[in-house]
Amino acid sequence: MTNSKMNNRILVAAVLITTYVLVPLLFGGNSYLLGVVVSAFTIAGIAVAWALLGNLGGMISFGHAAFFGIGAYTSSLLAMRFGVSPLLGLLLGGLGAVVASLAMLPVLRLRGPYFALAILAYAEIFRILAVELKSITGGAGGLLSIPGLPTVAGFDLNTKLGGYFTIVTIVAVSVLVYYLIRRSTYGLALRAMHDSENATRVLGVPATRLKALMLIVSAFITGVVGAFNAHFINFLEPNYAFAGTWTILPIVAAIFGGYRTLTGPVAGALVIYLMDQLLFKSLIPQGHQLILGGLLVAMILFAPDGLVGVLLRKVKGGGDHATT
Amino acid sequence: MFELTLQAVFSGLLSGAFYALIALGLALVFGTMKVINLAHGELILLAAYVAYTLESVAGWSPLASLPVALVVVGICAAGVYFLISRIKRDRELNSLILTFGLAIIITNGILMIWSADVRSTGGDWAHGAFVLGDSLFAMNAELLAAGVSVVLVVLLYLWLNHSWYGRAIRAVSSSSEAAKLMGVNPRQLELLSFIIAGVLATFAGVALYSAQTIAPELGHNLTITAFIITVLAGMGSISEVLVGGLLIGVIEALTVTYFSSSLRELSGFVLFLAVLLVLPSGLSGLKMKTRKAGPTGVSPGSSEKPARQKQLQHD
């Protein structure tokens, strides 16, 4: 037990050193490649949030684009209209998404496909609102020259490398939060809920309140990632901010990596996005997402536990709730 | 203003009947298997593109392309079922993700084969005007689509209620274990309902191509429309699908007339959420409520699982 804990610590340290030291050293000079890696981590952030809701809350969402778009618009508008620092704006973007998720709380009592598609309806409503509320959002024309991230302690975050460190930190903290929730008594109750919601209700677990909490945490993370993306690319329009891509890619990533594992969504996002951008796109210029759809189908049929799930089972020889 | 309202209601009823046709296949499969086929809209669009190809290559009219489209989409629908039937556990949620993946495949496949350009039929008759009582206007194709839709709803309703297969499908939907004991093969019937959904999707697709413009990303919207109407109708109720479609059609048309055309979609979504929250078992639930007919079926809002699923989990 202590041995595997030790191994886990070494693994975590190795991953952190790789992302914070090795990747910048290797790819820091190639600004195109670094940009693609930043986008991959952006997807990874949403994928972690999506998996948190799916794994702990037991809810499949087709509407995470809503949180992403609202986080992006909240932070951008605060920075452009009121001069709020983008760094603070990241958190406020997350809060904006939380406010939006509060509007979604009534659909929590819906089950399975109803929840999944009700959230999709919300995402569409928010997108239409972003187009229609021209006086606030600038409408379909979008927002131009959104301020970039500031300089912190002499290090300019408004560069490709600065953006890289910011998003990697956001993703790392999200995974940490996910880990802590899962380890807590809440996590235990949520996992029990996944087996039988009625039984856990009888035992006095406030099931709906816990699900609401997961929705809020998931929305917050996605909102922060959305805000980051807006300040990184300095441009926003409704059909981009609320695009289905922000829902499709994280789902494929989380399912591919294994949405019941901690690291699966991140690993999945990196593999999926880098392959999509660097390989599939050059193979099939138009319609390259076809391969992503195929991967999704194949994973559900042949490896519903995902890549990390399969690897873990090989290493440990079984165990339903993987810990890595 | 009165005339405008009348025209809006008339157009709304026509497009609403067509919406019902879009939703019919989805509602049937949902009723039989509790599976939402998120690729349903893409199957409709596929039929539309088959009609487009036959028209542009061989000069066939959209109606003449029906048999070919039926074969193509029927095979695809059977394929979708084949994949869903291979899901090992938690079919309700995993089928959602699986069909989501299939929808991505079909959309991008269409994009690859037919490119992102917007297409529409060149037939003169379809776009010709139909005038009712010299003040209400419609396109011939719209009228035909609405008529076909009503006929198909009636046929499906009769088939489900009066044929052996129809009764067997309803038996499977209420308890597939009990149906098995009565000598019904659930897999065969699930496949049958998927193929019929494919047939309905084909009619919807050919009607779509005759009356409107088509583009690769349209499938997603069709699926959402279909799902909204299915929820509005209530689970597995076929006759309410028509009512639900008409309701959405009229509300959308009135929104366009009184407010703005950009709010058309919004009205549908808002209605959808309102129904989900206020009336979780849809229009069919409303009927039961007014009849005070004892306990209703499993509403989407409740979290209890049918006993049969529990059994499967223990297997």
pLDDT tens digits for B103-122? Answer: 999 999 999 888 888 888 77
- Judge: A248–B276 Cβ closer than 8 Å, yes or no: no
Q: What is the arithmetic mean of pLDDT over A311-322?
A: 62
Cβ neighbours of B161 (radius 10 Å)? 12
pLDDT in tens, A292-309: 899 999 988 988 888 887
3-class secondary structure, A143: strand
Q: What is the arithmetic mean of pLDDT over B169-198?
A: 83
Segments making up each domain of chain B, as ranges: 13-127+139-246+284-314
For residue A143, list its beta bridge partners.
A236
Using alpha carbons only, what angle is made at residue B274 by residues B26 and A206, rounded to the nearest 5 degrees? 95
How many helices (H) and strands (E) in chain B? 14, 2
pLDDT at B314 over 60: no
Pairing of strands A151-152, A155-156: antiparallel
Residue B286: predicted pLDDT = 66
| Axis-axis angle for helices B2-33, B140-162 (nearest 10) | 40
Sign of CA dihedral B200, A296, B104, A100: positive
3-class secondary structure, A236: strand
- Judge: B300–A110 Cβ closer than 8 Å, yes or no: yes
pLDDT at B125 over 50: yes
Pairing of strands B136-139, B129-132: antiparallel
Contact between B276 and A106 under an 8 Å Cβ cutoff? The reply is: no
Chain B nearest C-alpha distance from A71 (Å): 21
Pairing of strands A155-156, B129-132: unpaired
pLDDT in tens, B272-291: 888 877 776 666 666 665 65
Backbone angles phi, psi at B119, to 5 degrees: -120, 150
Residue B294: predicted pLDDT = 40
Residues 6+ apart with CB under 8 A from B177: B308, B311
- Judge: B102–A297 Cβ closer than 8 Å, yes or no: yes
- A39 pLDDT band, cuts 50/70/90, is very high
Percent of chain A with pLDDT over 70: 95
Residue A111: predicted pLDDT = 73
Interface test with A, best of B97, B111, B271, B314 (most A CBs within 10 A): B97
Most confident among A27-36, A40-49, A118-127 (mean pLDDT): A40-49
Cβ neighbours of B164 (radius 10 Å)? 8
Query: ipTM score of the complex?
Result: 0.81
- CA-nearest residue to A208 within chain B is B303
Nearest to A293 among B108, B112, B303 (CB): B108
| Axis-axis angle for helices A245-257, A306-316 (nearest 10) | 10
Question: Comparing A19-23, A228-232, B67-71, B167-171, which segment has the lowest mean pLDDT?
Answer: A19-23
Residues of B in contact with A286 (CB under 8 A): 111-112, 115-116
- A320 pLDDT band, cuts 50/70/90, is very low
Residues of A in contact with B220 (CB under 8 A): 244
Most confident among A41-55, A306-320, B123-137, B143-157 (mean pLDDT): A41-55
Q: What is the mean pLDDT of chain A?
A: 84
Residues 6+ apart with CB under 8 A from B135: B3, B6, B7
- Residue A246 CA to residue A34 CA, distance in Å, equals 20
Q: What is the arithmetic mean of pLDDT over B262-269?
A: 82
The identity of residue A82, as a single letter, is: F
- Residue B221 CA to residue B277 CA, distance in Å, equals 22
Residue A46: predicted pLDDT = 95
3-class secondary structure, A151: strand
Residues for chain A: how many in total? Answer: 324
What does the block give as tokens for B203?
């009619």
Segments making up each domain of chain A, as ranges: 36-244
Nearest to B276 among A118, A124, A296 (CB): A118
pLDDT at A64 over 80: yes
Residues for chain B: how many in total? Answer: 315
Among A323, A295, A298, A297, CA closest to A311: A323
CA-atom Rg of chain A in angstroms: 19
3-class secondary structure, A155: strand
The identity of residue A53, as a single letter, is: L
Contact between B187 and B169 under an 8 Å Cβ cutoff? The reply is: no
- Judge: A248–B104 Cβ closer than 8 Å, yes or no: yes
- A317 pLDDT band, cuts 50/70/90, is low
Chain B nearest C-alpha distance from A185 (Å): 23
Residues 6+ apart with CB under 8 A from B60: B54
Nearest to B262 among A107, A117, A131 (CB): A131
- B312 pLDDT band, cuts 50/70/90, is very low
pLDDT at B10 over 50: yes
Supply the pTM of this predicted model.
0.84
CA distances, A82 to each of A94, A137, A156, B159 (Å): 17, 14, 22, 63
For residue A324, list its beta bridge partners.
none
- Judge: B269–A121 Cβ closer than 8 Å, yes or no: yes
Residue B290: predicted pLDDT = 60
Higher-confidence residue of B33 and B136: namely: B33
- Residue B204 CA to residue B145 CA, distance in Å, equals 8
Residues of A in contact with B300 (CB under 8 A): 110-112, 114
Chain A nearest C-alpha distance from B134 (Å): 36
- List, as one string, the DSSP characters of B84-147: HHT--S-HHHHHHHHHHHHHHHHHHHHHHHH-S--B----HHHHSEEEETTTEEEEHHHHHHHH
Contact between A24 and A161 under an 8 Å Cβ cutoff? The reply is: yes
- Judge: B101–A124 Cβ closer than 8 Å, yes or no: no
H helix runs in chain A, sequence order: 2-17, 23-27, 31-55, 64-82, 86-104, 112-132, 134-137, 160-183, 185-195, 197-202, 207-233, 238-241, 245-257, 264-275, 281-283, 289-302, 306-316
- Residue A153 CA to residue B306 CA, distance in Å, equals 59
